[in-house]
Amino acid sequence: MRLFPRRHPHPRRWTEIFTGVEAASVNPPTGVIACPDCGAVQALRSPGGHVIARCFRCRGILERTAGRSLDAAAACALAVFALLFPANILPLMRVSVAGATTRTRIISGVFGFWHQGWPVVALVVGFEVVVIPFLRFGLLVVVLGALRAGFQAPWMGPVFRWSQYLDEWAMPDVFLFGAVIGYARVAPFLPVTIDPGGYCFIAVAILTLMTRAALERRAVWRRIAAPAARTQPDMIGCTACDLAVPGALEGTPCPRCRLRLWRLKPRAYARTIALTLAAVALYPIAYTYPMETSDRISSLHPYSILTGVRKLLHAHLWLFAAIVFTASVLIPFTKLLLLSWFTVSIHMRSTRHIPLKTRLYRAIVGIGRWSHIDVFTVAVFLPLMHLPGFLRVIAGRALPAYLAVVVLTMLATDSFDPRALWFAAQSRHE
C-alpha cells in the first residue's frame, strides 16, 4: 500500500516548490514535516502497519514502521553501551608463534599508529573506534531511557541530535568487517585466536546494526516535541530533526533540537567544493603508495590498496575482494564524481534529473563510512603481527592520505545541502 499517491516527480510548475501540500490518506495525521532532501513541507500521516511513508516530491523515505520499535532500539543501545566496556578492556585476538604470544586490544592499533609516527591517524581511528561509540550509545541510552520513563526536557532535543550525528562516525560495525578481512588474509599462515574481548566486540558490532535497524528517529522526534498540526504558507525545515517552522524563524535555533534553521545551509556549496577538491588532490597518493609493508624475516612486502585486492583474488576470497574493491576504490571515486556533478548542476541551475540526483545523494550519505575497512584492517593487524625478529607490519604513507580522502568525502557529503538542487532549479524558472 502506498501512503502517498505517486505523482510526476517533476512538478509541472516550479512555483509549486516550497508551498506545502497536504497528502490524501485515511491514516491519522502525525504532524507537519519538512523533507530533509528536497525541502517539501507536508503533513505526514501515520504509516501504520508495515508500510513506508514517502515524500510526495522526491520519493525519499520519511518514516517506516516495519521492524521499528523504540523499546527494541533502547534495549539494543543499552546492550551495546554495556558491552563496549569489556570489548575495549579485554584482549581482542592473539597470535602464538614459537612460544611467543602477542595479544591485541582495540586501542593497540591506535598506539601502533602513534609509535610509528602517524599521530593524526591514531587520533582519528581512536575517536572513530573507541571514543565516539561510547558517546553515541551513551547519549542514545539517556534519551531513549528518559522517553521510556515519560520524561520531557529541553535538553533531550540537542542530545538526540548529537547521538544521531555521531552514528555516522561510530564505527564498531565497519571495524568488525576490517578485522574479518584481515583475519582471512593472515589466518592461512599465522595461528590467530579470538579472545573474549573479540567476542564482546562482535556482539557490539551486530547490536550496533540492530540498533540502527530498530530505531525510527521520526517517532523519537515526535515524542521529544510534537510538530505543527497543519501546513502554513512559507515554512522552512530543520536539517537535523525535520521540524517545519514559519520562514520568519530563519537564522534562529530550531525550537526542538536547537540547530540553527536555514532555508539553505549557508556556504554549504563552497564548503562542499573545497572539501571535494582537497580529497581529489590526495587521491593519487592514497592509491599509488603502500598502505602497509610487512617485514617478514628481512624481506619487505609492500601492500597498496590494489595489491591487497589482488592478494584476496589470488587466495580465491572473491567475496572479500569484491567488498574491499567496492568499499575502498568504487565508493570514494563515485562520491567524488557525484559531488562534482551536483555542484556543477547547482552552478548551472540545472532542472534535469533532480529526483535522481537527490536519490543518489541519499545513497552516498549512508555508504561513505564503509570505506574505512582498509584502514581498520591495518589497525587490527599492525599490533598483532608484531613478532620481533620474525614479522612486523609498518604503516605506509598511503594510509594517512587514504584516511584523509575518506574523511574529507564524508565531510563534503555532510556539508552538502541537497535542497540546493531543487532551489537552483526553481530559481531558473522565476
In angstroms, give the least distance from the CB of 259 to Zn ion: 5
Query: Is residue 35 close enough to count as binding Zn ion by CB under 5 A?
Result: yes
Q: Which stretch binds Zn ion (CB under 5 A): 48-56, 129-137, 181-189, 285-293?
A: 48-56
C-alpha closest to that of 383 among 171, 203, 120, 125:
125
129 secondary structure, DSSP code: I
Q: Which stretch binds Zn ion (CB under 5 A): 57-65, 316-324, 379-387, 406-414?
A: 57-65
Q: Which of 54, 68, 256, 369 binds Zn ion (CB under 5 A)?
A: 256
Q: Sketch the per residue contact string, 207 through 246, with Zn ion: x for CB under 5 A, - otherwise.
A: -------------------------------x-xx-x---
Cell numbers linked to 394: 609498518
Query: Is residue 166 close enough to count as binding Zn ion by CB under 5 A?
Result: no
Q: Which of 77, 92, 235, 257 binds Zn ion (CB under 5 A)?
A: 257
Query: Is residue 55 close enough to count as binding Zn ion by CB under 5 A?
Result: yes
Amino acid, res. 410: M
In angstroms, give the least distance from the CB of 221 to Zn ion: 8
Q: What angle do CA 320, 322, 326 make, to 5 degrees?
A: 120
Judge contact between 95 and 104, C-beta under 8 A: no
CB burial of 169-186 (b: ≥16 within 10 Å; e: otherwise) equals: bbbbbbbbbbbbbbbebb
Query: Is residue 41 close enough to count as binding Zn ion by CB under 5 A?
Result: no
What span, in angstroms and rounded, lies between the C-alpha atoms of 164 and 368? 16
Q: Which of 254, 312, 324, 380 binds Zn ion (CB under 5 A)?
A: 254
Judge contact between 170 and 137, C-beta under 8 A: yes
Total residues contacting Zn ion by CB under 5 A comes to: 15
Q: What is the CA radius of gyration of the chain?
A: 24
What span, in angstroms and rounded, lies between the C-alpha atoms of 35 and 273? 24
Query: Is residue 23 close enough to count as binding Zn ion by CB under 5 A?
Result: no
Q: Which stretch binds Zn ion (CB under 5 A): 36-44, 92-100, 141-149, 371-379?
A: 36-44
Q: Which of 58, 73, 106, 125 binds Zn ion (CB under 5 A)?
A: 58
Local structure of 109: helix, strand or coil? helix
- Please give the residue ranges that form the binding site for Zn ion (CB under 5 A): 35, 37-38, 40, 55, 57-58, 60, 238, 240-241, 243, 254, 256-257
